[in-house]
Structures are given as C-alpha cells and as structure tokens.
Structure 1
Amino acid sequence: MSDDLLIRLLVFLGLFVLLAIAERLLPRRKLRWSRPRRWLTNWGFSLLNTLTLRLVAVALPLLAIGAALDAQSRGWGLFNQIQLPDWLGLILAVLVMDFAIWLQHLVTHKVPLLWRLHRVHHADPDLDVTTAIRFHPVEIALSMGLKVGLVYALGAPPLAVLIFEILLNATALFTHSNIRLPIALDRIMRLALVTPDMHRVHHSVHRDEHDSNYGFALSIWDRTLGTYVAQPREGHDKMTIGLAWQDKRPTRLGWSFLLPFGRK
C-alpha cells in the first residue's frame, strides 16, 4: 500500500490523456468557450486542491488509505468487527462508499452553504474531462474529512479504499468527458454505470435537471431513489451547461475561487 499515491497518479494521468484524445477524435458537443482559458482555470483548481490536501494532512495526518490502515490495526469499524470473506468485504465496502459519495453529492445540492461551494464545479460553462478536477478547495477539504470519518466507521479494508479512490477518480474523468458513445452502448452501460450523457444532464442550467443524476460510478442509486433523469429536455446538442446566470466570468480562476463568498 506504500505505492498507493503513485498508482493513483499514474491511473489518473493515463486516463486523463486517453480521454482528452478521445474528446478530440469523437466529441459529443461543440465546446463554446476557449479551451486554453478553461483548462488553465480548472488545472489551477487541481493545483490548489493538491496543496489544500497537503495542509489537511498536517492537521489530519491519516487521509483515506492511512485511516483504513489505522482502523485495521486498531480493530475499529464495522468490517473489523464482523467475519466476512475478504472478497465480500471488499465489494460491500466499495458499494457503501459509492453510496456515501452519492449521498454527499445530493446533500451539497440541498444545503445552501454547501451549494455555495459546490456551484464552483457547476459554474464551468462547458463540460469536458477537466471539469472533473474543478472543485473549490474548501469543498475538497470537507469531503476528505467526511471520507476519513466514513473509513473509520466502516473499518473499510485498505485495498477497498484504494480501489474506491481509483474508481472515484476514473469515473469522475469519464463521466465529465465530452466523448460520443454509441447510443446502444450508452443505453446498456447506464443500466449499471454512469455514462457521460447521463451525467451531462446533471450540469444543465435547469435546476430540476441539475438536481438529478448524482452518481459517480454506479447509476443504481439514482435509478432506485428517484433522482434519475434520462435525457435533457433540450437535447444534448442544444442544452446549456452551467448555471442560469452563466457568463464568461467562471472561466477565470480568481473569480471562481471567490464565487462562494458572496457572489451571485
């Protein structure tokens, strides 16, 4: 587990490059805003978030995988109290953590203070693979704190946490990517998994549409809990991405960073 950071970084970078190439070859929508400017802003957020997690690690030395190792050594958490086959514990832990992220995502839309932070992500006026890394640093810090608490409560196996972290990053990149999948393939995939077309609905300017399709990896939570919307009412080509008051300001890093603190 000592190489978990390198493993996650290599998977992230490799998948990012592949999806960025795929977006060029098979774009789903024509992007309306300057790609270099948006990418500079979104990567700027990624850098700020990396630095934020470094600071969080000072106050909270054990982040997700470290927390899993610590809980395992101390016998803390649900999965360390019950006897399950390793494979079953692995699957159940990943499922519970995926549901927890779905629930967290829903809450960020329903609690006004959290929505002020989360709307930085939704303010991106176009949707592509870099939107997956556009989150406000405060939201990232809060999310990590909740994740660490969940890992301790579950006593999730360290390998399950590693798999989940890789899955979370990979599915975020995939579902935000601007790639065109064959309609038949999309229809089959979304029976179990979130697809780019499914998640794009979540980035609609219409509130009823962006209050839907909260899933990151599995589509079953939205399908079974009444938050699933199959398609945007205006169609994928004509729908508007972002927020109702959208303009060019969210393409700027400084303006976007200050967005939660009193703007709009």
Structure 2
Amino acid sequence: MPELILNNEPVIRVAFFLGVLIVMAVWEAAVPRRRREIPRLLRWSNNLGVVVVSALLVRLAFPIVAVGFALYARENGWGLFNVVDVPAWIAFVVSVMALDLAIYLQHVMFHAVPALWRLHRMHHADLEIDVSTGLRFHPVEILLSMVIKLGVVAALGPPPIAVLVFEILLNATAMFNHANVKLPLGFDRVLRWFVVTPDMHRVHHSIHPNETNSNFGFNLPWWDRLFGTYRPQPKDGHERMTIGIEQFRTRRDLWLDRMLIQPVRGPASDYPINRNDSSD
C-alpha cells in the first residue's frame, strides 16, 4: 500500500491541495474572522499566480523533490534511519517531527537574516490574510526551502511515506492557519496545543515587528512554546490589528510583477530579528 501511495504522489498532493483550498474558501465565506476590504479577485489571482511560478521553477531546478529524494536515500543507504534499525512507527513519527522542526528553524532564519527577510517579506506584505496568503511565498524562497528540505532528508533518511505525509500536512495546515475563519475561543485555546490555529498564526502577520517575530510554527505549535517565540494574542485585537509590514502598502504592490521584484525594492527595514528596538 505505501508503494502504491508513493507512486501516485502528484495526484494525491494535488487532490489534498484543492480539497483543503476549497473547504477553507467556503469556510471563510461562511464564518469570517475579519472583514474583507480588498476584492478577493485582486489578491487571489496574484497570490495563486505566485504558486504557478514557484511550481514551474521547482520542476525546472530540481530533477527530484523531497519524496523522490527520500526514496533515493533509502536505496543508497543515506541518512540516520537508513543506517540505524528502529521500528517503522518510530522512524515515521520522529521524521515528521524533525521535518517540522526544520521548517520552524528555517522560518526563524528567514526572519533573522536581512537578505533572507527580503525574500520572505513578500509573504508578510499581503494586506489581508486568508487561505491564499498561506500559498504566497517568493519563488526564490521556495527554491531555498527545497534545498534545505533535501539536506534534512539526506541527513535523516526518513521513510518516504513520512515525507509525503509531512508535505501534505504542511501544505494543508499552512492554508488552515492563514485562513480568515472564526473558531470558538474556547475551542481555539485547546486546539492550539496540538496544531497552529488561525488566531495563533495571525499574530505573526501583525504590522508590529515584535509580533511579526513570534509564532513561527506552521504545523506543530510546540516549537514556539519551547523556544520562547510564542505570543498568545495581538495587542490590537484580531479584528482591529493591521496586517502586513510598513512597506508595500498599496494595492498595486499586490500585483504579481511587483511581488516578484520586492526583494530588490527598498531597505530590509527593521523587521529582521534584533534589528529593531520595539518593546512589547
């Protein structure tokens, strides 16, 4: 069964992607957390345009991606779990958690290094936050992320099925926790112990640098609590908080062409970690 799943990886990933995207879009329309001010057509057409550009570049730049590379590592005995004999379920669980930790650390790094922040700030420059924001990453950031992910796979030697499950979870939870959906507050308080919720991650998209540099997790919420980067709520409240960064605040900046050249426009600003004097 695992081999059958792996052989149909592209179909499975696209099916989950479209399924989660549709569910979250309907949920946002039915029970929104924040009022929408910008036409969805403007933001979604350009945010999804970035997805297309990134997907094409990844296919051109990498002859093999994470799941395929995990299969290659297994065949060649690369990585910890291809050398050390452990029960399959332990290798699966540890691999998913280790990959998630790597993404958390990568996210912190893209906030800490000004040159990398120039790439990552395109994600933060969205003037509203919804499910499409969870897909809006600069293509060069996606390429660098793939390099890091392949390095982790080479070192860890995770089961290929664990890599596939992680990739699906990461994509699905990124769309979920960026979604403009309203959860009951009591349910949110419990749920955020197990997965990053929309209210938890929305703090990360605040215009205030000390809130932007918090809540870095995409999937598992434990890393933020463990490493001291957790912030429960935005100081301005979820309905009144300003989304985005101080730069690029016009609707023209939401167009695909402007997004792609954002890394070379203007200074890195005071958002990179330890480069601002903002107080809590």
> TM-score interval w.r.t. the shorter chain?
over 0.9
Where does the alignment leave 5 or more consecutive residues of structure 1 unmatched? Answer: none
Contact 1:125 1:250 in 2 (8 A): no
Task: State the secondary structure of the residue aligned to 1:238.
Answer: coil
1:256 & 1:117 partners in 2: Cα distance? 10
Task: State the secondary structure of the residue aligned to 2:205.
Answer: coil
Cross-structure match for 2:191: 189
Cross-structure match for 2:125: 123
Cross-structure match for 1:251: 254
Cross-structure match for 2:207: 205
Cross-structure match for 1:19: 24
Deviations 1:54-108 (A, max 9, x none): 1112xxx221011100110111101111111101110000000000000000000
Amino acid paired to 1:22: W
1:109 & 1:34 partners in 2: Cα distance? 29
2:43 & 2:64 partners in 1: Cα distance? 33
Shift of the alpha carbon at 1:193?
1.2
Structural mapping, 1:31-180, within 5 Å: 31-57=36-62, 61-180=63-182
1:199 & 1:213 partners in 2: Cα distance? 6
Percent same amino acid at aligned positions?
Answer: 49
Contact 1:167 1:217 in 2 (8 A): yes
User: Aligned residue pairs: how many?
Assistant: 261
1:47 & 1:263 partners in 2: Cα distance? 26
1:250 & 1:165 partners in 2: Cα distance? 30
Amino acid paired to 1:17: I
2:193 & 2:56 partners in 1: Cα distance? 37
Contact 1:52 1:137 in 2 (8 A): yes
Amino acid paired to 2:7: S
Moved more, 145-154 or 247-256: 247-256
Contact 1:20 1:129 in 2 (8 A): yes
Shift of the alpha carbon at 1:198?
0.2
2:266 & 2:41 partners in 1: Cα distance? 25
Amino acid paired to 2:149: K
Task: State the secondary structure of the residue aligned to 1:239.
Answer: coil
- The one of 3, 11, 24 equivalent to 1:6 is 11
Task: State the secondary structure of the residue aligned to 2:218.
Answer: coil
Cross-structure match for 2:274: none
1:249 & 1:231 partners in 2: Cα distance? 30
1:109 & 1:247 partners in 2: Cα distance? 23
Task: State the secondary structure of the residue aligned to 2:216.
Answer: coil
How high is the TM-score relative to the length of structure 1? 0.97
Task: State the secondary structure of the residue aligned to 1:236.
Answer: coil
- The one of 230, 233, 239 equivalent to 2:232 is 230
Amino acid paired to 1:26: V
1:255 & 1:62 partners in 2: Cα distance? 30
Where does the alignment leave 5 or more consecutive residues of structure 2 unmatched? Answer: 1-5, 268-280
Contact 1:249 1:256 in 2 (8 A): no
